[in-house]
């Protein structure tokens, strides 16, 4: 990126590398934050004296456990489960569960570390945590998913609660998985503690807008960045990677705001539809039938499917990476800029490599980092917790309005903080510093714990 790290911060970073070997994603997430904190330590010397950075880089608690389960043929499988309870300075640990074969401790720590600052930016009283398993839900039957989720919760339930740690979904964990886990939590505890998990079904304590929240929120954030440029989504050609929950509702909100999304993807390739994606068809294929995105062209013959293709080679004005970490590298970023991209909003967590981020910042395009742009998901999870705590449920319109206001405030906070610390227009600096200061002040207030 653009900043050379302060010497004292560099030595803290080297310490993180030494203590956490082999966790590349975690190292990347820590470096990206530390590179921006030099001016903060100059302004707040007490943060250095109290060793706030050293403490914030070390999770409060890391739980790793065995998850045995049986498939439909009766064969036994053993997976590994994780919950990293990272920082509870602002409230109970809050963050999703990811079920994906790539999951290991380093991924969970990177996600949990990002979550601390993202949650702080929402302005809501939630700390940072993350969890998951290296289990792959793809191709599994409903009964296999249920048996796995029940086994996973049989260990996890002892560490969570509505005032302790509140997990939600992430990649591979949607409403079905949350339902099975909540059922097992209820069975084990004999408590109807609706606030212990978010992303629940609407029939048993879920919140309207929660499904749409991350995608809608990322789009609202980009809308605010475009307003700063005296621009809007109207008539913009947009590309959204992924075709899961985040991507689908990003596409939906962009379309509502007048943009035209021409491409989305999955892990096998991308589809390009110059007429604009048929969102109802994407929803049917992905949410109902759980099929691959390539099947889109069976129904829309004018569209094109490119197996193994790079979606970032498609010219667009707005790019919304909404799939997974490190999906845009330096070369991809240069291609996007060369092809006329003016704004990037991260729906996924850390989807751009450090080289890619540098390209975006140097080109002075509007770049919304994940910890700010995709905070709408966890913000609406916190709104779900509020509804559960008061035994209430809100309308879609009311909840969406709350979400839009939260995203507007996050944008303003990041924008103003970047100005204050001498990096106008740099949302990376703004998001990192605004989130960090809030957490650091709470840690100072709580004493050495």
Determine contact, residues 166/196, Cβ cutoff 8 Å.
yes
Determine if residue 109 is labeled as part of a ligand binding site: no
Q: Is 358 annotated as a binding residue?
A: no
- Taking a C-beta distance cutoff of 8 angstroms, is the pair 5, 13 a contact? yes
Q: Determine whether 130 is an active site residue.
A: yes
Long-range contacts of 429-434 (CB under 8 A, 24+ apart): 429/36, 430/372, 431/117, 431/121, 431/369, 431/371, 431/372, 432/32, 432/33, 432/36, 432/37, 432/117, 432/371, 433/36, 433/37, 433/39, 433/40, 434/120, 434/121
Q: Which residue has the tokens 């103003």?
A: 416
Return the exposure string of 191-209: e unless at least 16 CB atoms fall within 10 Å of the residue's CB, then b.
eebbbbbbbbeeeebbbbb
From CA 7, how far away is CA 282, in angstroms rounded?
49
Q: Is 214 annotated as a binding residue?
A: yes
236 labelled as ligand-binding?
no
CB 53 within 8 A of CB 12: yes
Structure tokens at 407: 């995203």
Indicate which residue of 43, 51, 130, 186 is catalytic: 130
Q: Do the bridges between strand 269-272 and strand 237-240 make them parallel or antiparallel, or are there none, so unpaired?
A: unpaired
> Is 43 annotated as belonging to a binding site?
no
Q: Catalytic positions, please?
A: 130
Residue stretches of the annotated binding site for NAD(+): 214, 245
Residue stretches of the annotated binding site for substrate: 94, 115, 118, 169, 381
Residue stretches of the annotated binding site: 94, 115, 118, 169, 214, 245, 381
């Amino acid at each position: 990126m653009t900043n050379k790290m302060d010497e004292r911060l560099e030595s803290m970073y080297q310490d993180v590398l030494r203590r956490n070997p082999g966790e590349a994603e975690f190292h990347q997430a820590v470096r990206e934050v530390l590179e921006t904190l030099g001016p903060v330590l100059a302004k707040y010397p007490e943060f250095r004296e109290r060793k706030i950075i050293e403490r914030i880089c070390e999770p409060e608690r890391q739980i790793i456990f065995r998850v045995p389960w049986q498939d439909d043929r009766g064969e036994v499988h053993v997976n590994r489960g994780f919950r990293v309870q990272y920082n509870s300075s602002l409230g109970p640990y809050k963050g999703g569960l990811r079920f994906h074969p790539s999951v290991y401790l380093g991924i969970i720590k990177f996600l949990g570390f990002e979550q601390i600052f993202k949650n702080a930016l929402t302005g809501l009283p939630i700390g940072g945590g993350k969890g998951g398993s290296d289990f792959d839900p793809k191709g599994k039957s409903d009964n296999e998913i249920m048996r796995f989720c029940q086994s996973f919760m049989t260990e996890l339930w002892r560490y969570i609660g509505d005032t302790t740690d509140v997990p939600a979904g992430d990649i591979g964990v949607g409403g079905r998985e949350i339902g099975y886990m909540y059922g097992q939590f209820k069975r084990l505890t004999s408590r109807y503690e609706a606030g212990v998990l978010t992303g629940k079904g609407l029939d048993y304590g879920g919140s309207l807008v929660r499904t749409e929240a991350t995608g809608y929120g990322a789009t609202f954030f980009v809308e605010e960045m475009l307003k700063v440029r005296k621009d809007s989504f109207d008539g913009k050609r947009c590309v959204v990677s992924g075709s899961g929950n985040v991507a689908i509702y990003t596409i939906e909100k962009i379309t509502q705001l007048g943009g035209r999304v021409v491409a989305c993807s999955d892990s096998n390739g991308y589809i390009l539809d110059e007429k604009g994606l048929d969102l109802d068809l994407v929803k049917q294929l992905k949410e109902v039938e759980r099929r691959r995105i390539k099947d889109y062209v069976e129904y829309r013959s004018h569209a094109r499917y490119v197996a193994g293709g790079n979606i970032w080679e498609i010219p667009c004005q707005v790019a919304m990476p909404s799939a997974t970490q490190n999906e845009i590298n330096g070369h991809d970023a240069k291609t996007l800029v060369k092809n006329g991209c003016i704004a990037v909003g991260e729906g996924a967590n850390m989807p751009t490599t450090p080289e890619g981020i540098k390209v975006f910042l140097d080109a002075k395009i509007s770049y919304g980092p994940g910890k700010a742009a995709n905070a709408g998901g966890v913000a609406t999870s916190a709104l779900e917790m509020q509804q559960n705590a008061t035994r209430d449920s809100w309308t879609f319109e009311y909840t969406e309005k709350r979400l839009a206001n939260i995203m507007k405030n996050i944008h303003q906070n990041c924008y103003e903080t970047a100005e204050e610390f001498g990096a106008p227009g740099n949302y990376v600096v703004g998001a990192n510093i605004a989130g960090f200061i809030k957490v650091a002040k709470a840690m100072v207030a709580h004493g050495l714990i």
